[in-house]
Amino acid sequence: MQSFGEKIAVIAAGPLSPRALDALALRFDVTHLAKGDATLVTSDLAAKVRGVAVMGGCTDAFISALPKLEIIASFGVGYDAVDVTQAVRQGVIVTHTPDVLNDEVADTAVGLLIATLRDLPRADAFLRQGRWAAGERFPLTCGTLSGRKVGIFGLGRIGRAIALRLQTFNVEISYHNRRQIVDVPWTWHPTLLDLARSVDTLICVAPGGRETTHATNAEVLAALGRDGVLINIGRGSTVDEAALVQALRIGTIMAAGLDVYEHEPKVPPDLLALPNTVLLPHVGSASIPTRNLMSDLMVKNLTSWFDEGRAITPVPEVQKHALQPLNGIDH
């Protein structure tokens, strides 16, 4: 039983920033765990923890090991690593950090697209190696953004921000979502394969999870054609990495720019060895200002839940439960 003035016990799991940990410590009795892993939950934690702040995953076993748990505040907008099914079963709210990172991730996506088309990392390396100064010329690139047909897989918050940026370039834009959006000027395609057949550049910014696993497969890649470029800024699981390696190796598509991978932080050696890839270490949102906004929103979800009885940014699956029951009566 919690006595007056006693801090609520929460677990901070994963590599959360000092800013997040300090903010949590002001308000809560915090135990920092390396990750959301059931084997790290002691009986003392099981008996008292009511909230979790997490960067990374929360397994079914971890959630089940915390019978008093009310809320999981996840750092990041994508929450495919949190077992929401178990959370819902246990009546636990899950929150994430949407919107505050849209601009950063969209900027990174456009930067990655141009870097991939124009071979910018290799041009930088060429200069640093002294080859320009020594009289060599960096080869002209096959790729150019101008005149491309860009398809966006996942025209949500971030996808729209990418499309709005790309509107100012000389490109055609279309997209695939499960549902057509009525208030956008871009062409909708009912399947990802239809989209891929009508474009030469595919930007994946769809969430991970069962429904999108390996959605970008060999057939989709082949449909992009020999000038095809794949950019993945969503989740690594949405692309069949083995099929991508093969498509890049034999010239089925021209190039790929990736920020996310199937088994992070592992990147297949085959992908590393290919010259027609630009590979980033999952840095889509990774600026200090944006990570601070994400961190603050994660913490606010916890404080709002315990102070005011409402979560600020619950994930869609739990939205109807995102208010605390009043006097035992559910809303």
321 catalytically annotated: no
Report if residue 156 touches ligand NAP, rule: CB under 6 A.
yes
Could you tell me which stretch among 3-11, 51-59, 154-162, 246-254 binds ligand NAP (CB under 6 A)?
154-162
User: Which residue among 284, 295, 304, 321 contacts ligand 8YV (CB under 6 A)?
Assistant: 284
Angle between helices 157-166 and 102-118 (to 10 degrees): 50
Q: Could you say which residues in the range 50-79 bind ligand 8YV, by CB under 6 A?
A: 55-56, 75-78
- Which helix (DSSP H) or strand (DSSP E) does residue 271 occupy? helix 269-273
Measured from the CB of residue 64, what is the shortest distance to ligand 8YV in angstroms?
22
Q: Which is the catalytic residue, given 50, 235, 291, 321? A: 235
Angstrom CA distances, 105 to 200, 249, 275, 301, stand at 22, 28, 24, 22
With CB cut-offs between 5 and 8 Å by kind, which of ligand NAP, ligand 8YV, none does residue 231 bind?
Answer: none
User: In the block, which residue shows the tokens 């890049």?
Assistant: 248
Cross-strand partners of 207: none
235 catalytically annotated: yes
Report if residue 154 touches ligand NAP, rule: CB under 6 A.
yes
Strand order in the sheet with 201-204: 187-188, 172-176, 149-153, 201-204, 229-232, 255-258, 277-279
282 catalytically annotated: yes
Could you tell me which stretch among 162-170, 204-212, 264-272, 303-311 binds ligand NAP (CB under 6 A)?
204-212
* Beta carbons of 31 and 9 less than 8 angstroms apart: yes
Could you tell me which stretch among 25-33, 40-48, 53-61, 229-237 binds ligand NAP (CB under 6 A)?
229-237
Q: Could you say which residues in the range 86-115 bind ligand 8YV, by CB under 6 A?
A: 101
Backbone dihedral angles phi then psi of residue 282, each to the nearest 5 degrees: 50, 65
Cross-strand partners of 47: none
Which tokens is 230 given? 């794949």
With CB cut-offs between 5 and 8 Å by kind, which of ligand 8YV, ligand NAP, none does residue 206 bind?
Answer: ligand NAP
Report if residue 157 touches ligand 8YV, rule: CB under 6 A.
no
Q: Phi-psi region for residue 45, left (φ > 0), alpha (ψ -120 to 50) or beta?
A: alpha
Residue closer to ligand 8YV, measured from CB, 77 or 248: 77
**Residues ≥6 apart with Cβ < 8 Å to 6:** 29
Q: What is the dihedral of CA 300, 306, 309, 312, to 10 degrees?
A: 20
* Beta carbons of 27 and 53 less than 8 angstroms apart: no
Q: What is the dihedral of CA 291, 296, 301, 306, to 10 degrees?
A: 150
Residue closer to ligand 8YV, measured from CB, 76 or 228: 76
User: Which residue among 282, 287, 292, 293 contacts ligand 8YV (CB under 6 A)?
Assistant: 282
Report if residue 16 touches ligand 8YV, rule: CB under 6 A.
no
Which tokens is 213 given? 């696993």
User: Which residue among 93, 100, 115, 233 contacts ligand NAP (CB under 6 A)?
Assistant: 233
With CB cut-offs between 5 and 8 Å by kind, which of ligand NAP, ligand 8YV, none does residue 55 bind?
Answer: ligand 8YV
Name the residue whose CB lies closest to ligand NAP.
Answer: 156
What does the alpha-carbon distance between residue 65 and residue 41 come to, in Å, rounded to a whole number? 7
Residues identified as active-site: 235, 264, 282
Enumerate binding residues for ligand 8YV (CB under 6 A).
55-56, 75-78, 101, 282, 284-285
* Residue ranges in contact with ligand NAP by CB under 6 A: 77-78, 98, 101, 105, 154-159, 176-179, 205-208, 211-212, 233-235, 259-260, 282, 284-285
